[in-house]
Chains A and B, each alone.
Chain A
């Protein structure tokens, strides 16, 4: 009997849409939402520091992925800015972060202040430090987008290189 009921239930579940419009009156909906928020607030208050850190890391990962997908440079998402945000998830000082990644503090400072690009090793260490949540490829893409915008759109560099290029490809019929 139990099995038959179970089969009937499963059949019903797979035949129906998952969620219907709630069909509540405005008052009923307001009350339902209030009750929900009481339960949610209680759960939220029980979250540990580690859980919050993990959630923030995942948030950063999703936002990086979204930015990369857009494929348009935005200063807000430059490598140094994202790295700063990343560091703040866990550290109060850059020094402690540099120590955990065996990076020279001045090297980290140079990267954060856009005086130099991060080395390949640094990028690999970033992936390892995030426990692979933010892969090295994502950090690379951040750099690439920045480079494409800032470096290759630099008119001065282009003008300086004009004299070094001869026998250009034909681009007209």
Chain B
């Protein structure tokens, strides 16, 4: 997958991997606000550049197999990559697209990825990632929108 270096317009190769116990120990409050150790029971993934160990984003997933659905429990971008000082664009999108890909591996055409965002951010996710509103708490991706996101992030 690829993420954009904003100031140069250069595209960098990024990778999403399982988070190891060692990674969790090394996480600093200055870089990630959430206590990611609380997510231990879920599958946690990290995004980094292929040639750099620095973690740029984290995501925890819950797999609801009977519903053929993966729920993004928590997704956090490194504090240095937020706001105007951020260097890269596409970290959150790449992580969401990765969740979609994982779900397709398991469930093919039934794949569904959902998340519960803060109310005021709902429209942002709908516009930016093509998420659908269930009329309740969840936003979700299925069929066309899910595969479009995978394609948009070169997965």
Residues of A within 8 A of B (CB): 9, 11-22, 24, 28, 31-33, 35-40, 43-44, 46-47, 51-52, 54-56, 58-59, 62-63, 66
Given contacts A18-B76, A32-B136, A63-B105, contact A55 B116 (CB under 8 A): no
> Do A59 and B108 touch across chains, with their CB atoms under 8 A apart?
yes
A36 to chain B, nearest CB (A): 4
A62-B143 contact given A16-B121, A18-B77, A21-B73, CB 8 Å threshold? no
B4 on the interface (CB 8 Å rule)? no
Encode contact with A along B39-51: 1 for CB under 8 Å, 0 otherwise.
0000000000000
Asked if A52 contacts B118 (CB within 8 A), the reply is no
- Contact partner of B137 (CB less than 8 A), chosen from A14, A24, A37, is A24
Q: Which residues of A contact B16 (CB under 8 A)?
A: none
B116 engages A24 (CB within 8 Å): yes
Chain B residues with a Cβ under 8 A of chain A = 33-34, 64, 67, 69, 72-77, 82-84, 86, 92, 96, 101, 104-105, 107-112, 114-118, 120-121, 124-125, 132, 134-138, 140, 142-144, 147, 150
Compute the total of residue contacts between A and B using a CB distance below 8 Å: 119
Whose C-beta in chain B lies nearest to the C-beta of A54? Answer: B147
How far, in whole Å, are A58 and B104 apart by their CA atoms in the complex? 8
Are A17 and B73 touching (Cβ within 8 A)?
A: no
Contacts of A35 in B (CB 8 A): 134-138
A32 (CB) vs chain B CBs: closest residue = B137
Q: Are B109 and A39 in contact (CB under 8 A)?
A: no
Q: Knowing A19-B75, A21-B74, A22-B116 are in contact, say whether A39-B137 is a contact too (CB < 8 A).
A: no
Q: Which residues of B contact A51 (CB under 8 A)?
A: 109, 143-144
- A–B Cβ pairs within 8 angstroms, 7 of them: A14-B86, A20-B118, A22-B73, A33-B64, A39-B138, A46-B143, A56-B108
A55 contacts which of B69, B108, B117, B120 (Cβ < 8 Å)? B108
Which chain A residue has the least Cβ–Cβ distance from B136?
A35
Whether the pair A40, B136 counts as a contact (CB closer than 8 A) is: no
Asked whether B116 lies within 8 Å of A32 as measured between CB atoms, the reply is yes
Evaluate contact between B109 and A56: CB separation under 8 angstroms.
yes
5 closest pairs, A vs B, by CB? A55-B109, A35-B136, A32-B137, A39-B134, A17-B76
- 7 further interface pairs, Cβ-Cβ under 8 Å (given A13-B121, A19-B117, A28-B137): A16-B118, A17-B76, A21-B74, A51-B109, A51-B144, A55-B108, A59-B105
